[in-house]
Amino acid sequence: MREASLPKLSQARQELRRQQILQAAMRCFVRNGMGRTSVADITAESGLSAGSIYTHFASKAEIVQATAQDLLERRLTALAGFVGEARLPSPAQLLRHLADGISRDEARVGLQAWGEATTDPVMCGNVVATTDGMRDAIAAHCEVWLVAVKGHEASVARSRAAGLAAQLMAVYQGLIVRKALFGTTDAADETFIADAADRFA
C-alpha cells in the first residue's frame, strides 16, 4: 500500500514559514544570545514543529547565518528605497536614515553576527559581501551627489565617493554598536556624522 504523500507547501507559504522561523530566531537571539539559543528554543518560539524547522534549515548554524543575512539584506533594501524615494539626500542624511532605521534588537543581533563572523567562514563571507554591497551603494549615491550638488567632475567625484563611503560605513557601524549597547545615539553623533559626510566633499 502506497503511503499518502504530504501536500507540498507553495513557494509563498514556504517563504512565510521561513520568515516565521527567522523572526522567532531573532527574538531568541535578542533574549538569550546566539550561543545560548538552541534549535529547541527556536522551535518553541516559532510555534512550529521540529520537522517544519528542519524542512527549511538543516542546523542551527544555517538559522544563524540566514538570520544575519536577512538582517543585512533588509538594511541594503532600506538604503536603496530611501535613495530612490528621497530627492538626492546628502550623505549625512543618508547615514542618519540608516542609523534611525535599525532597531536596538536588530543592532544587538547584528553585533552578535559580527562576532560569529570572526570564527565562522560562511558567516564571514555573508557579512563581508553584504557590507561591501552597502558600501558600494553608498559610494554610487555619493558620486551622484558630489557631481550634482558639489559640482565635481565625474572622475574626481568617483574617487572622493569611494573615500566618503568608507568613512560613512565606519561611522554607521559605530552607531550600530552604540545602539546595541545603549539603545540610542546621542547629540554628539549628529556632529560626527556631519563631519564624516563633509570631509571628502
Q: Are residues 144 and 92 in the same domain?
A: yes
Proportion of the chain above pLDDT 70, given as a percent? 86
Q: Is residue 3 part of a domain?
A: no
Residue 133 lies in a domain: yes
Say what the alpha-carbon torsion angle 43, 48, 50, 54 is, to the nearest 10 degrees: -100
In this structure, the answer to whether residues 172 and 86 fall within a common structural domain is yes
Task: Confirm whether 115 is domain-assigned.
Answer: yes
133 in Cβ contact with 76 (< 8 Å): yes
Host domain of residue 44: 8-58
Three cell numbers, residue 79 = 538604503
pLDDT at 99: 84
Tens of pLDDT, residue by residue over 142-162, are 999 999 888 999 999 999 999
pTM, entire model: 0.80
Please tell me the predicted confidence (pLDDT) of residue 5.
46
42: CATH: 1.10.10.60
In whole angstroms, what is the distance from residue 8 CA to residue 70 CA?
24
Please tell me what DSSP assigns to residue 77. H
Q: How confident is the model over 40-93, as pLDDT tens digits?
A: 999 999 999 999 999 999 999 999 999 988 888 888 888 887 776 667 888 888
Residue 191 has pLDDT above 70, yes or no: no
The cell numbers describing 175, all together, are 552607531
Angle at 114 between CA 16 and CA 167, to 5 degrees: 110
